[in-house]
Amino acid sequence: MHYSERHARLKLILGEEGLEKLYGSRVVVLGLGGVGSAAAEALARGGVGHLVVLDRDVVDESNINRQALAFTSTIGKVKADVMAGMIREISPECEVTAVKAYLDKDDIDGVLGTFPRPDYVLDCIDTISQKLAIAHWCAERHIPLLSSMGAANKLDPARLRFANIKRTLNCPMSRVIRLQSIKRGIRGLEVLFSDEVAFKVDNPAARTKGETLGSMSYMPPIMGQMLAGKAIRRLAGLEPFPTPPRLARAH
């Protein structure tokens, strides 16, 4: 690979060998909201050479407070396409595949199985049934996975932690994922979660979750940066990979 000036600061830390490892790596980012769009951007800036970015939605005005791809000029545009355009602007050498698709929890392989085997999957989707299906798919194939948990109504980024799902607390999404992982025999799921007690939104007239689940401008992007940072360090050889998620043996 020919290293340009855009890689100079990376090379100081990673060296040529680390950069080569990153350039040869393939990462799938599932969900391009506040967490996923920040993660994809950081991976592109960090030298990852192959990215698959997937989301079913278009940019909405309400996304602008927290999503890296959301601007007045991108409202109404397909998130995956906007993200791919950003990645190409950041890193023209990066091979990026943009996918506008819904991940059916009963047919995850129908989408993810169409791509070459990834070196890492970052799950930034906020639907529990899909998160569990993604974890099961990765566990079956022994593919490294990092899964983001809930950031709604959380305020303090210093309370973010990487942990096995068994060691999470004060996170409603983690609680459900933890219980369902046990039932489904999914072991070794690594997540990023906040141990902060969530801020309570007082809205007696609320009829939907969207009217009680707020999001700070900085929390989801910081989570995305942390996910990308963990993946980059491991892919570059600066940190060891943990054992990928696995399925418990049937008795």
Q: Say yes or no to pLDDT of 109 above 70.
A: yes
What pLDDT, on a 0 to 100 scale, did the predictor assign at position 251? 41
User: Domain limits at 185?
Assistant: 5-247
Please work out, in degrees rounded to the nearest 5, the angle formed at the alpha carbon of residue 94 by the alpha carbons of 90 and 96: 100
pLDDT by residue (tens digit) across 127-140?
999 999 999 999 99
Strands 186-187 and 190-194: unpaired
Lowest mean pLDDT among 77-91, 113-127, 197-211: 197-211
Give percent of the chain above pLDDT 90. 85
Give the domain CATH number at 223. 3.40.50.720
Q: What pTM was computed for the model? A: 0.94
**Which runs of consecutive H residues, i.e. helices, occur in 74-218?**
79-90, 109-112, 128-141, 172-184
Spell out a b/e string for 103-126, using b for 16 or more CB atoms within 10 Å of the CB, else e.
Answer: bebeebeebbeeeeebbbbbbbbb
Under the banding of pLDDT at 50, 70 and 90, the label for residue 215 is confident
User: In total, how many domains does the chain have?
Assistant: 1
**Cα 155 vs. chain centroid, distance in angstroms?**
19
For residue 129, give the DSSP letter.
H
Q: Say yes or no to pLDDT of 85 above 50.
A: yes
pLDDT, mean of residues 223-248: 96
Alpha-carbon Rg for the chain, nearest whole angstrom, is 18
DSSP strands (E only) in 59-144: 95-100, 120-123
